[in-house]
């Protein structure tokens, strides 16, 4: 058998059991000692590296050092420098997303095609620039003032 408790409507419209005061929440118990670090990787961690790609990046790192393109900086030891270059090649180049065609890597911006067919993106105003200036593909290094880039 189901017993129905008499209820009354509180001033704020909330139905409350008549013989029961508003429930008072017990203070939360102090947490036990923090759990040991989880063995599973956190969701924001990067996936395990691709061994073949990592090996290629290692080879490129050594190659750049040997050829003198990226020599060991003063005060750094060789292995740490190789590892830094390997990891940076891997993360910043090998695993970097492929950008759309006509992308401007210099300014890290996507270019759009103008009515004249040129691909460009707007450049921040400089000193006495009155008009909008554009960075146009194949004319890098120029501040192109061209309304058709709009």
d(CA 62, CA 83): 10
Instruction: Output 106 or 130, the one with its CB closest to Zn ion.
Output: 106
- The answer to whether 149 and 120 have CB atoms below 8 angstroms apart is yes
Site string for Zn ion, 91-120 (x = CB under 5 A): -------------x-xx-------------
Instruction: Output 58 or 107, the one with its CB closest to Zn ion.
Output: 107
d(CA 95, CA 98): 9
User: Which residues, listed in sequence order, are joined to residue 15 by a DSSP beta bridge?
Assistant: 9
d(CA 127, CA 113): 26
Instruction: Output 55 or 142, the one with its CB closest to Zn ion.
Output: 142
Site string for Zn ion, 45-84 (x = CB under 5 A): ----------------------------------------
Q: Tell me if 136 contacts Zn ion by CB under 5 A.
A: no
**Helices 51-66, 78-88: inter-axial angle, 10-degree rounding:** 130
Note the residues at the interface with Zn ion (CB under 5 A): 104, 106-107, 135
């Amino acid at each position: 058998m189901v017993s129905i408790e008499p209820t009354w409507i509180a001033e704020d419209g909330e139905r409350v059991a008549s013989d029961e005061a508003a429930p008072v929440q017990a203070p939360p118990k102090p947490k036990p000692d923090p759990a040991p670090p989880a063995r599973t990787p956190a969701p924001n961690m990067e996936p395990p590296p691709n061994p073949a790609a990592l090996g290629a990046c290692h080879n490129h790192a050594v190659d750049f050092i040997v050829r003198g393109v990226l020599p060991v900086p003063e005060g750094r030891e060789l292995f740490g420098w190789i590892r830094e270059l390997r990891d940076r090649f891997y993360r910043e180049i090998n695993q970097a997303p492929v950008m759309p065609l006509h992308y401007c890597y210099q300014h890290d911006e996507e270019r759009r095609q103008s009515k004249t067919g040129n691909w460009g993106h707007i450049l921040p105003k400089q000193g006495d620039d009155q008009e909008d200036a554009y960075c146009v593909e194949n004319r890098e290094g120029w501040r192109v003032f061209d309304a058709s880039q709009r």
